[in-house]
Chains A and B, each alone.
Chain A
Amino acid sequence: MASLGGSSSSSTEYIVRVPKNTSKKYSIMAFNSGDKVNCSSWTQARMERDMSNRRMYGVEETEEGAAGSEFGKKQREEARRKKFGIVTREFKVEDQPWILKVNGKAGKRFKGTKKGGVTENASYYIFTQCPDGAFEAFPVNGWYNFVPQAKHRTLTAEEAEEEWGRRNKVVNHFSIMLQRRLREQERGPDDDDEEGEKGGKKKKKKGGRGGDLRIHDLEDDLELSSDESDSSGGEDGDSKPKKKGGDVKGKGKKKKKKRGSDSEANEDSDDGDFEGLEVDYMSDESSSEEEAGEEKAKSNKEAVPKGIDEASESEEESEEEKQNEEEGKEEEEEEEGKKTPVQTKKKRDSSGESDTSEDSDIDGEAASALFMKKRTPPKRGGGRGSGGSSRTGSRPGTPSIDSASTSNTLRAAASKLEQGKRHVVGGSSESPAAKRLKMESSSMAVTTQSPAPSGKSTPQPPSGKSTPSSSDVQLTEEAVRRYLIRKPMTTKDLLKKFQTKRTGLSSEQTVNVLAQILKRLNPERKNVNDKMHFYLTE
């Protein structure tokens, strides 16, 4: 028909047809414009229904067939469900989401969920123009919103919540996903079916503690190559050296591993990604703890200086902190796994207790110092958690060859002290006292190697057996001597005398310093009320 209306308007008429009996069902595929989807750029696409929600009848129930089945089980189950009014929704194929894969395996993936309520009150029609100029209208059967599916790994809700809680502490976000991947890898060989993260963690924990983990990074590498045991210990060991190397070498690389958190403190698995990384040198296996420790110390030392050279100026504090922490922790765990003496356990315990606190860093360092002989001075101050104390040259710049001998003597001293204690003290009080003494001796070791600056004061350069901290107002040898001469006191009493508020030291430092002093004084011991008292007679 011709145009109608005013002169400035012109119109054309088209016939609208609604074809009947088409076997084609029209649906809408909606993409968010932010995803910048260009359909014409697709070379090929595959789309299928996502059947993951289908519950096969009987799949959830006990298996069919003779074994374990009952006569009439199905009917009974159904009757039971009806009685309780449980209505299971029928699985409708048309309502299931679509999975769209574009450009093959490497291309994008989309998931299209059906939008409800589209056809309830109004109908949508697709008007297409036919070659003959008429319009054909097809009703729209369903509307599917397609969202791109992430190919990269994401955190589950639980993990996300954990990380959220640590967001102020974590500086290196790359490590979060790395952690997760390692965990998964760890879980994989152990148990393929285990999906729960908790389960996986537990497994790792067990593997880390119970397995016979070697302390040494590089030797573990050897170990693994020689025996292809599936144990997490072996795997841990293998990837550990690489990881260490990787961590130290490339701070810019994504392969940073963060081990600071409580929940991950027990982790031992490492990333297989580091397989190809260079390792400084391989050392021979050694079964003795000391040797192993030594080697590890050496290897660490090797790895670490390299790292220092590369990244001496602008290292991230937290990274270091965490690495130290993690090294400390992992060493602790390894120690345990090796059925080390009670000492280790105590060490770990003590550090475990104060995990989140700043002290944990120090504890970890103390442990590492004691056993690893590697944790030389630089570990001082042990990073105040995430507070971020400045760490100048905290990586051992100096080869710590002599540290080995030092720590040997330290260990000897520690064990002697412990033995001395053991003889004198009864059984019950032994553990706490021994533990405390352990702590003290180890912290003494730490302090001898690295001065423990107070958290507030500026860190001092590492030095030998210097008296810790200059802000030491009242905690002097003289003071202790005075007390001990006056009357026998337990270590607890002594600590009470030198309260942190008054001396300006942290509790950790107080302990360290006190231990040092006690060692120097070498007071006599007396057992009063089952408690070890010190006293001096001048």
Chain B
Amino acid sequence: MSEKGEVDLTGAKQNTGVWLVKVPKYLSQQWAKASGRGEVGKLRIGKNQGKAEVEFTLNEDLTMIDGLGDKPSGVQAPRDHPFTMQTVGGQTLAVFTETQSESSKDRISLEGLVVQRAECRPAASENYMKLKRLQIEELSKPVRLSQQLEKAVTTNYKPVANHSYNLEYDRKKKDEGKRARADKQQVLDMLFSAFEKHQYYNIKDLVDVTKQPVSYLKEILRDIGIYNVKGTHKNTWELKPEYRHYQGGEEEKETDD
């Protein structure tokens, strides 16, 4: 990981110039569908009476627009896209890349500087208009829809003798049985080990941990612990000061009763 953060400056040193082109969304979607080597079209750069003309032509096979749900919508993407060239003044734009390889070494490298900005516009054509209309239709659909139902829904709440989950709960309870009072020493052991992990416990949590009946547990707790009524740890039990030893490594302090 020593390389992490180190920026590879070869692109900057070579002053590689790149173009920053703003491309419409539908076009980038079409490009994503490109197969093979990724050829998407042709760029024609010409000089017409001194002015540079740049035009991008989309490949034929990429003109099928998918409508909703990936089915062909019957609309074709326009093919011709002239580029509008713009200057880069006001901002110095550099391009950097992050490479995430399998070895999880993030390499950042500076690819180059932007020398030209361009906007890819579709040439106004029937196709484009249709495409736009399709887009607008999709967008104008409300996200939420009110729909009237013919019949009332009857499948939701049915009266039931006893809910399924209730039954399960009862069964679980029966299986577990009443909590038996274990040996006091054992309970103390459990308590101390529990308090090793956390300082404050709710009585319910302690019951869970020790599986003891509440009253029995409370008696034991009254022996070795104190009950916090006020303060940040409301209604929690903690060990008495003489029993606890929280300082980095905890030690158990047991008493023999």
Contact = CB atoms under 8 A, between A and B. Distances in A.
Interface stretch (A35-43, A164-172, A225-233, A247-255): A35-43
B199 A67 contact: yes
B196 to A, nearest CB: 6
A121 B99 CA distance: 26
A12 B200 contact: no
A46 B7 contact: yes
A28 B20 contact: yes
A26 B93 CA distance: 13
A30 interface: yes
Interface stretch (A69-77, A153-161, A183-191, A379-387): A69-77
A127 B18 contact: yes
Contact of B197 (A1, A17, A27, A66): A66
A15 B99 contact: no
Contact of B40 (A30, A67, A137): A137
A176 to B, nearest CB: 33
A114 B155 CA distance: 49
Contacts of A42: 9, 12
Interface string A19-51: 110011111111111010101101111111000
A9 interface: yes
A18 B43 CA distance: 12
Contacts of A9: 46-49, 53
Interface residues of A, number: 60
Looking at chain B's contact residues, the main secondary structure is: strand
Interface in B88-132: 89-101, 108, 110-114
Contacts, number: 204
A491 B32 CA distance: 94
B24 A70 contact: no
Contacts of B46: 3, 5, 9-12
A281 interface: no
B16 A128 contact: yes
Contact of A122 (B22, B42, B94): B22
B23 interface: yes
A25 B98 contact: yes
Nearest to A94: B98
Given A20-B38, A47-B5, A69-B198, A28 B97 contact: no
B45 A12 contact: yes
A41 B245 CA distance: 61
A33 B18 CA distance: 18
A402 B82 CA distance: 93
Given A48-B5, A66-B246, A71-B202, A32 B91 contact: yes
Contacts of B12: 39-40, 42
B16 to A, nearest CB: 7
Contacts of A124: 20-23
B40 A12 contact: no
A529 interface: no
A12 B52 CA distance: 11
Given A135-B43, A137-B31, A37 B92 contact: yes
Kindly name the residue among A6, A11, A124 whose own CB sees the greatest number of chain B CB atoms within 10 A.
Answer: A11
9 closest Cβ pairs, A-B complex: A11-B46, A67-B246, A39-B12, A45-B7, A9-B48, A127-B19, A123-B28, A31-B92, A70-B200
13 contacts: A12-B46, A13-B42, A25-B99, A25-B100, A28-B95, A40-B13, A40-B15, A45-B6, A48-B4, A67-B246, A71-B202, A73-B198, A122-B25
Interface of B: 4-7, 9, 12-13, 15-16, 18-25, 28, 31-32, 34, 37-49, 53, 56, 89-101, 108, 110-114, 194-202, 205, 209, 233, 236, 246-247, 250
